[in-house]
Amino acid sequence: MPFFIDTSALFKRYQIEKGTEEVSEIIEKSREKVYISSLTIIEVISNLKRLHEVDHLTTEQEFAQQRLFFYNDIEQFEIIILDVTTDDIMKAEELILKRYMKPVDAIQLAVALNNFSTKPIFVSSDQKLCSIAQQEGLPIFNPEV
């Protein structure tokens, strides 16, 4: 079963926190394909930049290293990037109309729901998003649990 990793989980690969080992194991050791949405790219980079410029938790050099590490992972581990489409936006609206959720979370979930013939394992550290994904029929994995 393929893995679809949302930003909340993938970010753990680049900033050590609870769940880092679990996410790293999926990326490095899984025989299954790993997917992310194109939205995840900008979210990861934005969050890394926030750690440097806003929170002052990392240096400029650490930011550059984390960014490079992220792009190297995409290439080395052949992480597949799924573009966000109009169909995904329409599915995200449908999800929001069912129950309130953040727009970015709705788009991530919509991409996971729309792009697979076999349901992927939805990997997220956002408990509410995991719950909604499960209600939508996806198997979930929360690396923090």
Would you call 100 exposed, middle or buried from its count of C-beta atoms within 10 A (0-12, 13-18, 19+)?
exposed
d(CA 114, CA 32): 18
| pLDDT bracket for residue 99 (50, 70, 90) | very high
> 38-55, pLDDT tens digit by residue?
999 999 999 999 999 999
Res. 58 pLDDT band, cuts 50 70 90: very high
Phi, psi of 66 (to 5 degrees): -65, -40
27 CA to centre of own chain: 12
Report the C-alpha gap between 41 and 17 in whole angstroms: 19
Domain positions in the chain: 3-141
13 secondary structure, DSSP code: G
CATH code for the domain defined by 3-141: 3.40.50.1010
Percent of the chain with pLDDT over 90: 100
